[in-house]
Amino acid sequence: MTLALVGGTHRTVPLDLRERLAFSAEQAADALARFRARFPGREGVLLSTCNRVEFYAASERDAVPAEDDILAFLAECRGLEVTQLAPVLARRRDDAVVRHLFSVAAGLDSMVLGEPQILAQVKQAWALAQESRTAGPLTGEMFQAALRTAKRVATETALGRERVSIPSVAVSDFAAGVFERFDDKRVLLVGAGKMAAETLRYLREAGARDVTVVNRTAGRAVELAARLGARPGRFDELAAELAAADLVVSTTGAAVPVVTTELFAQAEAARGGRPLVVLDLAVPRDFDPRINGRPGVWLYSIDDLAAACDANRERRRGELPAARAIVDEETHRFMGDLHHRSTAPVIERLRAGWSETGESELDRLFRRLPQLGEAERAEIRQAFERYAAKLLHPPLASLRSESRSGPPHGLLDALKRLFDLND
């Protein structure tokens, strides 16, 4: 049983490269289908968010794909060179993979420490792997354990009791740094997904009243606007909406910039020099970064949140030891169970051998004592089974105990030799 991980985050992958490496839901499904065809019998889960792209691979019997093969596969899927990704993507194996996933699910590896959105993204990645038929028992147990770990961190520490996320930091630290109040500002929300909805909630709490939602799929803009008390706008009138806005929050999943310099120039001519704050929370970016050089424009990308998030991390760092202790405990438990499962074939052969010997001896005994009734035979059979179970208990208990600290290769080899258990 082996596990492998290749991936990078906002800490290691520059934004411009992260934009090119990111997978949309459709691209992720296509990548998983290609993985299934190229590595049959192996399990794979692809986690792609605005701050990370990580591929988890697993195999219970066959060798898991090598980390270099996974890296090359990711590069191929996104049309990138391996030499571009090799310096910035981390490679992990076995218990390091488990510990990392548990930390990610609990929000310990996020830009905003303890942010809850990543847990939903982990669940979505696992669901997509199930739909794409690249999930399996090993990744299933690992991702279920990750969700359990995240729940423990949320309930047993204060790390997540104050709801903090990228949208909240964007509104409270960046937009509020330019505008003293929001009740007199016109807000434009570009995109209608979960991050857009969360951002709109924070804007409402901050006092925003005049909010317009535009989305390429008009129905989703209408639904979100109706649900959260905003006004739906038309995507084909985006230049006019930009001209009227004071604050823009963009969260689409578009593969290319939604607002180009040409489109922004149309809006700029009608703005009359009014200041504009743009929170571009999308990866790839929705706004051409050159727009940041225009007069009166404050354009912040996802990476610009880093300083505010670092400050947030410092305020919450006191909860980290307890959270990491939970991650370590759950990792130790999971790997112990995994190592113990690897002993199953030897245990089955050991039990089968004892059972076969016992049945042979019982048959010989019953032939010599034909006068025994069914009740006596049943009692003798149960005594044999109890005796065999008691004799087997010490080696099996030793296997279980040794599995808690690592793969019990030495003990397994010894049992194979002692009891002549051929593979």
pLDDT digits (tens, 9 = 90+) for 49-65: 988 999 999 998 778 89
* pLDDT for the residue 178: 79
Q: Encode burial over 157-195: b for 16+ CB neighbours within 10 A, e otherwise.
A: bebbeeebbbbbbbbbbbbeeebeebeebbbbbbbbeeb
Cis peptide bond prior to 284, omega within 30° of 0? yes
Contact 156, 182 (CB under 8 A): no
Residue (of 100, 105, 98, 96) closest to 125 by Cα position: 105
Which class for 272: exposed (0-12), middle (13-18), buried (19 or more C-beta within 10 A)?
Answer: exposed
Domain that holds residue 400: 340-418
What DSSP assignment string belongs to 320-372?
HHHHHHHHHHHHHHHHHHHHHHTTHHHHHHHHHHHHHHHHHHHHHHHHH-TT-
What is the Cα Rg of the chain in Å? Answer: 29
Query: Considering only CA atoms, which of 63, 57, 60 is closest in space to residue 6?
Result: 57
User: Do 247 and 362 fall into the same domain?
Assistant: no
Cα–Cα distance for residue pair 258/396, rounded to 1 Å: 62
Please give the residue that has the higher pLDDT: either 158 or 127. Answer: 127
Instruction: Say yes or no to pLDDT of 398 above 70.
Output: no
* 112 domain residue, yes or no: yes
Indicate if 6 and 145 belong to the same structural domain: yes
We report the CATH number of the domain holding residue 226 as: 3.40.50.720
| One domain, residues 15 and 157 | yes
Mean pLDDT for the chain overall: 86
Predicted pLDDT of residue 365: 83
CB-CB contact of 400 with 332 (8 Å)? no
Structural domain contains residue 332: no
In sequence order, which ranges of 132-193 are alpha helices (DSSP H)? 137-156, 166-169, 176-178
DSSP label at residue 98: H
Task: pLDDT band for 245, please (50, 70, 90 cuts).
Answer: very high
* 200 assigned to some structural domain: yes
pLDDT: which is higher, 112 or 123: 123
Residue that terminates a domain, selected from 163, 179, 212:
163
Residues 382-396 have a mean pLDDT of 76
Residue 403 has pLDDT above 60, yes or no: no
Q: How many domains does the chain have?
A: 3
Give pLDDT, residue 242: 94
Contact 107, 146 (CB under 8 A): no
pLDDT at 164: 66
| CATH number of the structural domain spanning residue 85 | 3.30.460.30
- Whether 327 is covered by a domain: the verdict is no
Instruction: Using pLDDT thresholds of 50, 70 and 90, give the confidence band for residue 192.
Output: confident
> What is the rounded distance in angstroms from the CA atom of residue 182 to the CA atom of residue 266?
25
Is 319 domain-assigned? no
The pLDDT tens digits for 3-30 are 999 999 999 999 999 999 999 999 999 9
State how far the Cα of 188 lies from the Cα of 182, in Å rounded to an integer: 12
pLDDT at res. 193: 82
Q: What is the pLDDT of residues 209-228, one digit of tens each?
A: 899 999 999 999 899 888 88
Q: Is residue 315 in a domain?
A: no
- pLDDT of 208 reads 87
Q: Which amino acid, one-letter code, is at 383?
A: A
Q: Verify that 190 and 153 share a domain, yes or no.
A: no
**What confidence score (pLDDT) does residue 31 get?**
97
Q: How far is CA 392 from CA 203, 206, 358, 383, in A?
A: 65, 66, 13, 14
Single residue among 163, 180, 203 that ends a domain in this structure:
163
Q: How far apart are CA 222 and CA 233, in angstroms?
A: 8
User: Active-site residues: which are they?
Assistant: 50
- Cα end-to-end span (Å), the chain: 16
**pLDDT on residue 92:** 95
pLDDT band at 163 (very low <50, low <70, confident <90, very high): low
The pLDDT value recorded for residue 202 is 84
